[in-house]
Amino acid sequence: MSPWTFILDHRGEILSATLDHFTLVVIAMAIAILIGVPLGMFIVQRPTLRTIALGIASIFQTIPSLALFGFLIPIPFIGGIGKRTAIVALVLYALLPILRNTYVGLTGIDPAVLESAEAMGMTRSQILFRVRLPLALAVILAGIRTATIITIGVATIAAAIGAGGLGTFIFRGVALVSDALILAGAIPAALLALIADFLLGFLERRLRIS
Amino acid sequence: MIVSDISLRIPRGETLVLLGRSGSGKTTLLKLINGMLLPPKGVVLVQNCATTEWNPIRLRRGIGYVIQEAGLFPHFTVAENVALVPTLENWDAPRTAARVQEMLHLVGLDPRDFAHRLPRELSGGQRQRVGVARALASDPPILLMDEPFGALDPVTRAELQREFSALVRRLGKTIVFVTHDLREALLLASRIVLLQAGRIVASATPQEFLRLDHAEVRAFTSSLSVSPGAFV
């Protein structure tokens, strides 16, 4: 059977798996952004904490994703089989690009701009919210974009711990040596990544100041 | 120690030019005035109150600040940049808008043409004009300027220097102006203070300055391409 007929025949299942996959990514990204951006803001003025936070986030990135899922299963509360564990692992993966870009965006601002902001009598929080953050937004968004694309890919592996999503087709396809099954998972995942990349890239260009 | 043995009184309304080579401590002195730097020893009094006693935010809102490349906020329009301190001080919208118009006229920019532009849509000279307008917007009695015209081409620089010197006489602000350009110092200053390696080596009016017998003064006067007599 050609992959295309297979995909057409199972479009209902594939669509619902895509939706599952999408939900997994959105939840993980929302949590990663809620942790990563404030943490990035917090470490700007704190060098020791910055080294520690960026170090830990980098370590998570170096752990092979399948191993990370495996490590999390026995951990109480956040572990176990299913979506919750998968989301925790995806958040840990997405954290580094968001954290790093938030930090880089906030610190990579023209020193003359920050000097005049301080000299004009802006308070530290006014400088953060009215100058640094708006100017860093495009860079932060670039980090979110990278993290989203990574997460869409890594989320396929989450099927290994029973989190569902498009990975289910891929794992089944590998087990049954069926290209059609693998493609039924891989093509929608690739499309999701491309669409996310395009939309977030568009937003990023709109926010870029100079 | 970047600067030492500095004793300086700046009377109200004076345009004091801090002249010196790079690294002589000019910018450090400037930042001591608005509390961006605090003296580890000694005291800096602004309006009879030590900068260490001032609330730094209050101190700086009363002191205009202009730097090289202007340091305009790239995500703010010209009008928003000029309105910065009035906005921070919670002026009401009509008063702020009127003040922005007034300031832009003052620095020779037509508000209808410029108010809604972003800094990147301006020339270097126009950006510097906006920088001056922003520094003056809340009508601070003191103005600090750190080589504000340093990055401009010679023609634009001369134009801004001329206009600014006329503006200064009209406004009667107390100005501390940092430069390494003797020509600029002679044009703008009511008094020139020459710094060398963090110490004051000369303090004189522009007329007196050229006649001073000091090696560093001669080093600066010989940097003028025309005979120094032309300025006396």
Share of chain B above pLDDT 90, in %: 72
**Three-class DSSP labels, B31-80:** HHHCCCCCCCCCCCEECCEECCCCCHHHHHHCEEEEECCCCCCCCCCHHH
Distances (CA, A) of B4 to A105, A119, B7, B29, B177: 37, 23, 9, 10, 19
Q: At what angle do helices A11-43 and A179-207 cross, to 10 degrees?
A: 40
Residue-wise pLDDT for A31-79, tens only, equals 999 999 999 999 988 999 999 999 999 998 888 888 888 888 888 877 7
Measured over all CA atoms, what is the biggest interatomic distance in chain B, rounded to whole angstroms?
Answer: 55
Range of the domain at A65: 3-207
Place A82 in a pLDDT band, splitting at 50, 70 and 90. Answer: confident
Mean of the pLDDT values across residues B9-27? 92
Contact B74 A131 (CB under 8 A): no
Question: What pLDDT shows up at residue A83?
Answer: 87
Residue-wise pLDDT for A99-129, tens only, equals 999 999 999 999 999 999 999 999 999 999 9
- The larger pLDDT score, comparing residue A75 to residue B79, is at B79
Is it the case that residue B168 has pLDDT exceeding 90? no
What average pLDDT is seen over chain B?
91
pTM equals 0.82
The contact set of B with A (CB < 8 A) is 34, 36, 56-63, 65, 67-75, 84-85, 88, 118, 120, 131, 134-135, 144
- Which of B58, B75, B76, B139 to mutate to test binding with chain A, by most A CBs within 10 Å of its CB? B75
Fold of B1-62+142-232: Rossmann fold (3.40.50)
Residue-wise pLDDT for B104-152, tens only, equals 999 999 999 999 999 999 999 999 999 999 999 999 999 999 999 988 8
Mean of the pLDDT values across residues A75-97? 88
CA distance B39 to B32: 7
Place B15 in a pLDDT band, splitting at 50, 70 and 90. Answer: very high
Q: Which two tokens stand for residue B153?
A: 């081409």
CA distance B177 to chain A (A): 15
H helices of A63-210, in order, are 65-72, 83-107, 111-119, 124-126, 133-154, 167-176, 179-207
Question: What pLDDT shows up at residue B3?
Answer: 85
Question: What pLDDT shows up at residue A209?
Answer: 63
* Full strand arrangement of the beta sheet holding B174-179: B63-67, B142-146, B174-179, B15-20, B191-196, B199-204
Give the nearest partner residue to B71 out of A112, A135, A210, using CB atoms: A112
Contact B144 A122 (CB under 8 A): no
Place B194 in a pLDDT band, splitting at 50, 70 and 90. Answer: very high
- Which of B28, B57, B130, B176 to mutate to test binding with chain A, by most A CBs within 10 Å of its CB? B57
Contact B83, B96 (CB under 8 A): yes
Is it the case that residue A205 has pLDDT exceeding 80? yes
Contacts 24+ apart (CB under 8 A), B41-46: B42/B6, B46/B142
Q: B222: helix, coil or strand?
A: coil
Is it the case that residue B77 has pLDDT exceeding 80? yes
Mean of the pLDDT values across residues B85-99? 95
Question: What pLDDT shows up at residue B230?
Answer: 56
Domain count for chain A, please give it: 1
Contact B60 A123 (CB under 8 A): no
Pairing outcome for strands B49-50 and B45-46? antiparallel
Contact B74 A119 (CB under 8 A): no
Contact B75 A113 (CB under 8 A): no
Mean of the pLDDT values across residues A161-180? 91
